[in-house]
Amino acid sequence: MNTPHVSVVNIKIILVLLFFFGGITHSTNAQVVYEHISNTGIYDYLDEMANLKIIELNNVVKPYSREFIYSKLTEIARYNELHADNLNKRQQKDLAFYQTAYALEANASLPFPPKTDLIKKSTGFATALNPVGLFYKDSVFTMALQPILGTSFSSNANGGLTHTWSGAGLFGYIGKNLGFYTNVRDNNESRLMIAPGYLQRQQGVPVKNFGDEGVDYTEARGGITYAWKWGTVGLVKDHIEWGLGYNGTNIQSGHTPSFAMIKLQLKPVRWGEFNYYHGSLVSEVIDSARSYWSDNTYRVVYFQKYMAANMFTLYPIKHLNFSFGNSIVYTNESGGGPHAAYLIPFLFYKSVDLTLSSNDKGGYSGNNNHFFFNISSRNIKHLHLYFSLFADDISFSYFKDKDLYNSFSYKLGFRLSDFPIRNLSLTAEYTLTNPYVYQHHTETQNYTSNSYNMGHYLRDNAEEYYFALKYIPIRGLAFEMAYSLARHGDDYSLNDPNINPHSDPILKNIIWQNRQLQCTARYEIVSNTWFFASYTYQDITGQQDKIEKFTPEYYRGTKSTVNGGLCIGF
């Protein structure tokens, strides 16, 4: 499996942007390190505060930066000073807990607040249990080194399953504008539970080897960023999530292994925001012309594969935002690196692609284009209403014909927070994805990286109903009960000469179905350290060959699975 890379052209673009923005923003104080999307505690807390109309939040693009999270916590703290009776005791304790977790983003110097430090030194170093790690801060340089350790055990009628992981994370800031972070962890599972073909929400993994004692894989993330008052540019390798939804998104789900990208975020005005990235995906399609033998070893070279995507977000009134954008997955068969046109952040890439493929006379020289639209409303206190659309292709003529449809994926839903019962949230959402949405005629331009679908985890010709109740009685302790019904229709292929990609029946034959009830409990002892336990009932039915294709053997049929473990670090 090849490693995602960024070409010399990409690096030059970064250096030019750093030089330009560095020259005009030398006096600002802004630093960016991204908080991984798996840190659901802080993401859910900010979401709850936004649903209560205490803060404004654009959650269509994740991850957030630690500095952004700290700024929102500061807004909540100011609100609490003026309206202390509006936040209950649990919410106030959560606020204090997260303010400690993001103390490095505050202007105050070390040590951490009382009762968290183990060692306090005048040299700028401190070690702490909350959060766990070694920390350093002075007027120029800030650093945090934190351990990553975890273990979990699952059991059902098919036996036991163990998963252990370990590693370390390092992040910090240099001066007023530079941020950096790196994170690496090694994993071992007694059985392989994650693969590109399985219909699961778990993040994809780059498998390292299969051994007698299980499966090993590793994941490395990191990046360097330059930020100023109203924007950020960075070169990172990370997971991203675009779109709205609480049980996965349908635009960019974060389902693939992390990949390298140039990121740009601009927010020069209150009423608008812009996000862009250009990523180096992993095609896993062998380029036989460039692969070669060397010393009795066959060196495999994959086709280069890239993705450019942008998202414009407008805030016409408080607590209401509209987002729209487009993306393209493209290849460079000549091996010359990314195309300059797709390094321009603000373009409509479909039009660019039509220009570049103007010599096409009926073939498939064009690339894989997509469009998306989101609307998020928190105008009614306690209630978040949202809608997300991913369009692989749009033809207005199809709207007039009941027998034809566009290649759309829809997601709509709501979350009701702290009403009518405090500390309780209710979530309901529905997802429908038409056939062929995430496919392309050319394998190198599929909407995938490392063969994992980048959109909704159920892929095309599928639907899902999702309902969840979450209760947080005290700081750090959360109980959740969730029910989902996931269904997948006929497994169509765009390269089947007998198909019509705009009229084949949607969900006519259900070849795979999963009814799932899951009850989970989690307690975060100190920042980034928590116990977890869950009970999952699954009833997976359908065609036997499709069940085997879409489901790990461990979960096939009707199963009750219990799981528990401990985790330190993200």
354 in a structural domain: yes
Note whether residue 126 is domain-resident: no
Q: How far apart are CA 378 and CA 57, in angstroms?
A: 9
Q: What is the dihedral of CA 243, 244, 248, 253, to 10 degrees?
A: 10
Greatest mean pLDDT among 119-133, 294-308, 319-333, 372-386 lies in 372-386
CA neighbours closer than 13 Å in the CB half-sphere of residue 105: 23
Give the whole-angstrom CA distance, residue 531 versus residue 315: 39
Geometric angle at alpha carbon 304, from 302 and 310, rounded to 5°: 145
In terms of Cα–Cα distance, which of 544, 545, 542, 539 is closest to 559?
A: 539
Domain encompassing residue 319: 8-108+141-568
For the record, the structure tokens of 154 come out as 């699952």
β strands within 368-445, DSSP E: 368-377, 383-393, 407-417, 424-433
Q: What is the pLDDT of residues 57-88, one digit of tens each?
A: 999 999 999 999 999 999 999 999 998 788 99
Cα separation, 15 vs 33, in Å, equals: 18
pLDDT at 192: 84
Calculate what percentage of the chain has a pLDDT beyond 70: 89
- Give the residue carrying structure tokens 């996000």: 275
Residue 48: phi and psi, rounded to 5, are -65, -45
Query: What is the pLDDT averaged over residues 552-561?
Result: 94
**Of all residues in the chain, what percent carry a pLDDT higher than 90?**
67
Four-residue CA torsion sign, 280, 286, 287, 290 = positive
pTM given for the model: 0.91
Asked if residue 23 has pLDDT above 50, the reply is: no
Residue 336 burial (C-beta neighbours within 10 Å; 0-12, 13-18, 19+): exposed
- Residue 265 included in any domain: yes
Q: Per-residue pLDDT tens for 266-301?
A: 999 999 999 999 999 999 888 888 888 888 888 888
Show Cβ contacts of residue 559 under 8 Å, excluding neighbours closer than 6 positions.
156, 157, 158, 536, 537, 538, 540
> How confident is the model over 423-477, as pLDDT tens digits?
999 999 999 999 999 998 888 899 999 999 999 999 999 999 999 999 999 999 9
Q: Is the pLDDT of residue 2 over 90?
A: no
The answer to the question of residue 117 being in a domain is: no
Maximum Cα interatomic distance, the chain, rounded to a whole number of Å: 74
C-alpha distances (whole Å) from 123 to each of 104, 119, 230, 253, 371 are: 16, 11, 33, 43, 52
pLDDT tens-digit series, residues 187-212: 999 988 888 999 999 889 887 665 55
Q: Residue 5's pLDDT band (boundaries 50, 70, 90)?
A: very low
Q: What mean pLDDT is reported for the chain?
A: 88
The β-bridge partners of 185 are 167, 219
Mean pLDDT of all residues in 114-138? 75
Residue 416 pLDDT > 80: yes
Tell me the backbone φ, ψ of residue 14, rounded to 5 degrees: -60, -45
Please, which pLDDT band fits residue 536 given cuts at 50, 70 and 90?
A: very high
Mean pLDDT of 181-186: 95
Higher-confidence residue of 258 and 106: namely 258
Residue type, 446: N
Average pLDDT over residues 47-55: 97
| Residues in contact with 487: Cβ distance below 8 Å, sequence separation at least 6, in sequence order | 462, 463, 464, 507, 510, 512, 513, 514
Query: Is 27 among the domain residues?
Result: yes
Range from 352-356, 485-489, 551-555 carrying the lowest mean pLDDT: 352-356
CATH number, position 469: 2.40.160.130
Name 234's bridge partners.
225, 263
Cis, peptide link before residue 473, omega less than 30° from 0: no
Judge whether residue 332 has pLDDT over 80: no
pLDDT of 116 over the 80 cut: no
Please give the pLDDT value at position 12: 53
pLDDT at 4 over 50: no
Does residue 123 lie in a domain region?
no
The number of domains in the chain is 1
Closest by alpha carbon to 463, among 435, 424, 427? 435
Q: Is the pLDDT confidence value at 161 over 90? A: yes
Identify which of 185-189, 322-326, 399-403 has the greatest average pLDDT: 322-326
Would you say residue 367 has pLDDT above 90?
Answer: no
Residue 120 domain-assigned? Answer: no
**What per-residue confidence (pLDDT) applies to 3?**
39
Place of tokens 């269509």: 60
Examine the pLDDT at 354 and tell me if it is beyond 90: no
Helix axes 89-101, 40-51, angle to 10 degrees: 130
- Does residue 116 lie in a domain region? no
Burial 504-517 (b: 16+ CB within 10 A, else e): bebbeebbbebbbe
pLDDT band with cut points at 50, 70 and 90 for residue 138? confident
Poorest-pLDDT segment among 15-24, 135-144, 430-439: 15-24
CA torsion sign for 241, 246, 249, 254 is positive
pLDDT of 27 strictly over 50? no
DSSP 471: E
CA-atom Rg of the chain in angstroms: 24
Say whether pLDDT at 512 is over 60. Answer: yes
pLDDT at 115: 55
Evaluated on CA atoms 312, 388, 329, 204, the torsion sign reads positive
| Confidence band of 361 (pLDDT split at 50, 70, 90) | very low
